[in-house]
Copies of this chain bind each other. A is one copy, B any other.
Amino acid sequence: MIHLKKPHLMKNDLMNKVKRRVAYAIRITQTAAIMAFSMIALSVSEANTAAAKPNVAHFTLDNGLEVVVIPDHRAPVVTHMVWYRVGAADEKPGKSGIAHFLEHLMFKGTNKIGPGEFSKIIARNGGQDNAFTNQDVTAYFQRVAKDRLPLVMEMEADRMANLKLAEKDVLTERDVILEERRSRVDNDPSSILQEQMLATLYLNHPYGIPTIGWAHEIKNLSRADALEHYKRYYGPNNAILVVAGDITPEEVRKLAEKTYGKVKRVPELKTRQRPQEPEPHAARRIVLKDPRAAQPTMQRYYLAPSYTSAQPGEAEALDLLMRVLAASTTSRIYKEVVVNKKKASSAGGWYSGTALDNGRLAVYAVSSGGEAEIAAAEQAIDEVIEDLKTHGITQKELDRAREAAIANRIYAEDSQSALARRYGWALTTGQTIKDVEEWPERLAKVTTEDIVKVARKYLVKKRSVTGILLPEKQIREASVAR
């Protein structure tokens, strides 16, 4: 069904959630595979740098539409994506969820396409389609046989300008979203905790407001709100077209001019300036007790720069830092907390840096014990972090992390859509094609000193929020929940 496969809101956050959930199973397997791959890749690490630069074309149509073409002739298919430079963090106060709501409504049709027909037409043509919204972007994509690309581009260009919304459909869809919120967030204590943690981490920046929206605000979103958002943000001069697949830049340009080229600009938008975070002063902590929670878990987010907002060299160092510290079963946290000290059944972390304004460092632990055990796991993680900040890392650890990062990157290029997403994410969050292409070279420059420096600068408690999820039963035993 269309709806089932549709809106991937909060991609990053969902990814994190998925990471958490599958950490103990798939993740280890996958990372093990990557690590194995990276061992093979060790000898070709210089070649990697070159291999990581697909022959990408980049141009802009007269009406401002930026176009990225990534030729990939391995199969006669194409991935077609339109990325709008607008996400939940661009919403007006009190209108949380409108970006995601409009994403849903974009499937309601135009003068040419009947309500709900968009995805059906793609499916009838043997393709797949989907869309997602996060804090910074709203994106629509299809994967089709090469010869169906003109159809897809015509349809996507059509709904960029000619969306038709019936009041009835809007109200129905709002109920769908409220139900989505209930099932994805309100019925899932780990999602509730994550939402609370982000709202607590960001004291001023709208990244603290959930992408799906607060329930009480979703309930008041109207057709007029959706159309206002649409008319303001949906236009060729606020979009990026990414086409990856068995096609040449010239073919894409011709098709783009014939379709998107006819869409009028929206009034020029100001630079996306969101309220920024104040200097962090104090560690924050959230305890959520929920009978539905299966196991005590601890998560922590630290405010960090994003790939876009980081000082030169910092994002690369953060990326490698978190690999050494937390990214796999060979990471320091896993080895120390899970294997040696046996304080947690699972533990790890990551850097999420794909964002216009702020990134985050995350660490987590899951315990099969109770409140005291999860506290011990947290303490063990803190000790690993302090040790790294005090004594640094070895060259061997750095090299291994770098190989893994580069291997991971090459590995991702096997997927046409992953390749397309790489450029789409980068460009909609303020990076350039050059930033993407130079990434492996930038990783190559990171030293062990750089790692310690960013660890000391960003893995700092006062920059963080810690969330503790406890099955409620266990809490009642303690007289005072701290």
User: Does A112 count as interface, using CB distance less than 8 angstroms?
Assistant: no
User: Does A251 count as interface, using CB distance less than 8 angstroms?
Assistant: no
User: Does A46 count as interface, using CB distance less than 8 angstroms?
Assistant: no
Known contacts A93-B206, A383-B479, A480-B378, A282 near B278 by CB under 8 Å: no
State in angstroms the CA–CA spacing of A276 and B286 once bound together. Answer: 20
State in angstroms the CA–CA spacing of A383 and B479 once bound together. Answer: 8
User: Does A227 count as interface, using CB distance less than 8 angstroms?
Assistant: no
B480 touches A382 (CB 8 A): yes
- Give the nearest-CB partner of A213 in chain B: B278
Contacting residues, chain B, for A372 (C-beta < 8 A)? none
What 1/0 mask marks residues of chain A from 186 to 226 whose CB sits below 8 Å from any chain B CB?
Answer: 00000011011001100110101100001111000000000
A282 touches B196 (CB 8 A): yes
B204 touches A275 (CB 8 A): no
State in angstroms the CA–CA spacing of A480 and B343 once bound together. Answer: 15
B216 touches A208 (CB 8 A): no
Contacting residues, chain B, for A279 (C-beta < 8 A)? 215-216
Number of copies: 2
B203 touches A93 (CB 8 A): no
Contacting residues, chain B, for A199 (C-beta < 8 A)? 203-204
User: Does A283 count as interface, using CB distance less than 8 angstroms?
Assistant: yes
- Give the nearest-CB partner of A461 in chain B: B481
State in angstroms the CA–CA spacing of A209 and B479 once bound together. Answer: 33
The 3 closest A-B pairs by CB, nearest first: A199-B203, A282-B288, A285-B285
* Chain A interface (Cβ < 8 Å from any Cβ of B): 93-94, 96, 192-193, 195-196, 199-200, 203-204, 206, 208-209, 214-217, 273-276, 278-279, 281-289, 375, 378-379, 382-383, 461, 467, 479-482
Can you list 25 residue pairs at the A/B interface with Cβ under 8 Å? Answer: A93-B93, A93-B206, A94-B275, A94-B276, A192-B282, A193-B282, A196-B281, A196-B284, A199-B203, A199-B204, A200-B200, A203-B208, A216-B278, A216-B279, A217-B275, A281-B288, A282-B286, A282-B287, A283-B287, A285-B285, A379-B479, A379-B480, A382-B480, A383-B480, A461-B481
